Chains A and B, each alone.
Chain A
Amino acid sequence: GENVEQHPSTLSVQEGDSAVIKCTYSDSASNYFPWYKQELGKGPQLIIDIRSNVGEKKDQRIAVTLNKTAKHFSLHITETQPEDSAVYFCAARPPETGNQFYFGTGTSLTVIP
């Protein structure tokens, strides 16, 4: 089955700096890679996603890159703000399992004002 690894587990950055979170996956057939943000006391919120036919996607301060050859994808947050502090999860979707997602273990991001 699919195995997703996520690094780092914790990340602290100064406000205004960039943050990068990386994930690797094992199943080369995986075709969809979402990123979720989870704030304290809330459920995961989809913030950006990318499909396997695209190498990069950007939405304002957030971007995701995908390297299918190396089987890794990354979340980039620029000009970080205190409200970006949360736990971020990556996931991968192998099509042979239906719409089942395999999640990473999460990255706790702290943005220091």
Chain B
Amino acid sequence: ETGVTQTPRHLVMGMTNKKSLKCEQHLGHNAMYWYKQSAKKPLELMFVYNFKEQTENNSVPSRFSPECPNSSHLFLHLHTLQPEDSALYLCASSHEGQGAYEQYFGPGTRLTVT
């Protein structure tokens, strides 16, 4: 148990659906991240939030929309996805500042787009 929880753990959605992924961290961290993990590829950073402000968007298509209402919660809103968006979506958190770099991951949401 890393202190980062994600729901749902599994999600199947059609290309016209709208769904949201949720992440919550119980570590008192102030930065949160969304990663995409596909088979045979390195983890891809999608979004970074520091102190609730988005500081990184790695050219992610607009069909993925993040939301960070506070430093403990992070959402990823999904709409009109493509089959190639099927992957494991991982949330992570860290404590920015004071030389702390460690990132702690949640268990992920396995997304299947049909």
Contact in complex: A49, B56 (CB < 8 Å): no
Contact in complex: B45, A34 (CB < 8 Å): no
Contact in complex: B48, A43 (CB < 8 Å): no
Q: How far is the CB of A1 from chain B (nearest CB, A)?
A: 11
* Contact-residue size bin, chain B (C-beta under 8 Å from the other chain): 20 to 34
- Residue from the list A4, A43, A93, A99 in contact with B96, Cβ < 8 A: A99
Q: Is A113 an interface residue (CB 8 A)?
A: no
Chain B residue with the shortest CB-CB distance to A32: B101
Q: Is B16 an interface residue (CB 8 A)?
A: no
The docked-state distance in angstroms from the alpha carbon of A4 to that of B106 is: 23
Known A44-B90, A45-B2, A45-B105; judge A89-B48 contact (CB<8 A).
no
Interface residues in A1-60 (C-beta closer than 8 Å to B): 4, 32, 34, 36, 41-46, 49
Chain B residue with the shortest CB-CB distance to A42: B107
- Residue from the list B45, B50, B56, B108 in contact with A43, Cβ < 8 A: B108
- Residue from the list A32, A46, A100, A103 in contact with B42, Cβ < 8 A: A103
Known A42-B107, A89-B43, A105-B40; judge A100-B48 contact (CB<8 A).
yes
Most central of A34, A36, A89, A106 by chain B CB within 10 Å: A106
Q: Is B17 an interface residue (CB 8 A)?
A: no
Known A32-B101, A45-B2, A49-B102; judge A98-B107 contact (CB<8 A).
no
Enumerate 11 A-B pairs (CB-CB under 8 Å) in ascending A order: A43-B4, A43-B6, A45-B2, A46-B102, A46-B103, A46-B105, A99-B48, A100-B56, A101-B43, A102-B42, A103-B42
